[in-house]
Structure 1
């Protein structure tokens, strides 16, 4: 029987929760998921990726899961080196999610797109913070709270 991969499961779970949230939010904001994904693709592929149609959306989806892989790898490496991160899982997951939010919104997005930090619209800031904590940090911490990774 093949051994289960907790990291692979975490990557698929967190990546899917996060991108579904972004897709739903883009619809509520009056846009569409394809445009949102093409916006993600602009990060590594340049502004022209916004004009790539389906290819740009797929590139954005691949970019999203690549970023998510980095987030998962860092958490799993940290838990291996510091088992104390397992408890209290809810606190450490929240802190990790907040840290991910800071890296993405205070460093990556301002460097690539010139996005201001903190965001002038606090609602948009909360919309960006929520998935980092509830769809990445907390699930990761919960999944690794007991079993060795």
Structure 2
């Protein structure tokens, strides 16, 4: 049974990793979608709960989207941290593992989570529209989470 200190360290690691990835990912989403206001990007996240009504929900819907985005990122970080504790090699080889994890997160969000939600968003239609979000998930989600896990939990 883990002691309280190690449980706190694991929780703190997952929280920091999730907050960092959440901040980087939502910033990338806003910056790579400058054709729409940031509010709309956040509302698109809320559409997972609210469907198309999120886009008429103004800033309250955007706030729900932002809170949901960070909650999802913390859960994603918890998954990685738990795996990295069970399999120390994930921390030792954090760069390739983080890249693969970023792709895995994109696949799960694009083909499982979003389709099972109320969101009207559809998967990318072609390779060119797929590359940008995959790269963002590698650089803003997978690598930062893997880096924080390695930094806070050691190389294994």
Identify whether the pair has TM-score above 0.5, normalized to the shorter chain: yes
Residue of structure 2 in register with 1:148 after alignment: 153
* Inter-partner Cα distance in structure 2 for 1:61 and 1:147: 26
Q: In 2, Cα distance between the equivalents of 1:104 and 1:69?
A: 14
Match of 1:115 among 119, 122, 142: 122
In structure 2, distance between residues paired with 1:102 and 1:19: 17
Q: How many residues align?
A: 143
TM-aligned CA deviation for residue 63 of structure 1 = 1.2
**Structure 2 residue 81 is the aligned partner of structure 1 residue 81:** no
Identify the match of residue 26 of structure 2 among 19, 30, 39.
Answer: 19
TM-score of the two chains, using structure 1 as the length reference? 0.86
The alignment's TM-score, normalised by the length of structure 2, stands at 0.82
Any idea what SS the aligned residue of 1:26 has? coil
- Separation in structure 2 between the aligned mates of residue 62 and residue 142 of structure 1, nearest angstrom: 23
- Unaligned ranges ≥5, structure 1: none
The structural deviation recorded for 1:51 is 0.6
2:63 is aligned with 1:61? no
Q: Distance in 2 between matches of 1:32 and 1:46?
A: 18
**Which portions of structure 1, spanning 4 or more consecutive aligned residues, are displaced by more than 4 angstroms?**
none
Q: Greater RCO between the two (CA within 8 Å, min separation 6)?
A: 2
Distance (whole Å) between structure 2 residues aligned to residue 50 and residue 66 of structure 1 = 20
Matched ranges for 1:31-46 at <5 A: 31-46=36-51
Equivalent residue for 1:99?
Answer: 104
In the TM superposition, residue 40 of structure 1 has moved relative to its aligned partner by 0.9
Distance in 2 between residues matched to 1:146 and 1:11, nearest whole Å: 14
Structure 2's unaligned 5+ residue stretches are 1-7
1:145 CA drift (Å): 2.2
Quote the RMSD (CA, aligned, Å).
1.9
